[in-house]
Amino acid sequence: KQEVTQIPAALSVPEGENLVLNCSFTDSAIYNLQWFRQDPGKGLTSLLLIQSSQREQTSGRLNASLDKSSGRSTLYIAASQPGDSATYLCAAPSGSARQLTFGSGTQLTVLP
Amino acid sequence: DTGVSQNPRHKITKRGQNVTFRCDPISEHNRLYWYRQTLGQGPEFLTYFQNEAQLEKSRLLSDRFSAERPKGSFSTLEIQRTEQGDSAMYLCASSLGPGHTFGSGTRLTVV
């Protein structure tokens, strides 16, 4: 059974700082890994999808890496802004339905 | 295409009442998923449809829960005899290939 863990649970940084969010998973036989952003009381917005054949994926100030052998993924946010404040969730598909198994998220606060 | 649409956005109901939520997926997506999210946790899988067939159900989906996807288009999730423990955000997602696209969710409060 796939288990996904995210560390830290919460993070507070000053504006402009570069930061790294961590995600680990127990079953390395994954097809891909997806990072999401969730604002309070809202749904999930997909940020990046990394296929199992890729090691990195970039979108603007975001860069996600995937290391299947170690069961880890990281989300790197460059030059953080107050608008980046949100909960960040990683998820890996499992099962015949390829349903997503989520971590509990990292709640990020970027202070102006 | 306006993405995945969920209605209503919020629902407050009394314990013991039945509620129904609707999800309209992205039109060309054949896969549709329902998840439930409680405060401070990541979403948990409830059930999965491929076209109109419900192919997977989580153990979280008790007998009081039922989901349908007639004609493989929109989907409904019904909860009968609601309990306070059903209070959560109910999220719908759809996909065609890798990756999920989520709706904005329905927040259910059982009082």
Split chain B (111 residues) into runs of 10 and give each run's mean pLDDT.
90 98 96 96 96 92 94 95 97 94 97 97
pLDDT of amino acid A51: 92
Question: Which of residues 12 through 41 in chain A touch B, CB cutoff 8 A?
Answer: 31-32, 34, 36, 41
Q: Mind listing the pLDDT tens digit for each residue in A39-78?
A: 998 999 999 999 989 989 999 999 999 999 999 999 999 9
Asked whether residue A12 carries a pLDDT value surpassing 90, the answer given is yes
Output b/e per residue, B1-13; b: 16+ Cβ within 10 A: eeebebeeeebeb
Instruction: Report yes or no: B6 at the A interface, CB cutoff 8 Å.
Output: yes
Judge contact between B37 and B89, C-beta under 8 A: yes
Instruction: Report yes or no: B55 at the A interface, CB cutoff 8 Å.
Output: yes
pLDDT of amino acid B1: 55
Output b/e per residue, B27-51; b: 16+ Cβ within 10 A: eebebbbbbbbeeeebbbbbbbbee
Asked whether residue A31 carries a pLDDT value surpassing 80, the answer given is yes
> B48–A97: do the CB atoms touch at under 8 Å?
yes
Instruction: Report yes or no: B49 at the A interface, CB cutoff 8 Å.
Output: no
> B42–A49: do the CB atoms touch at under 8 Å?
no
CA distance A33 to chain B (A): 8
Question: Which of residues 8 through 27 in chain B touch A, CB cutoff 8 A?
Answer: none
Burial of A85 (0-12, 13-18, 19+ CB in 10 A): middle
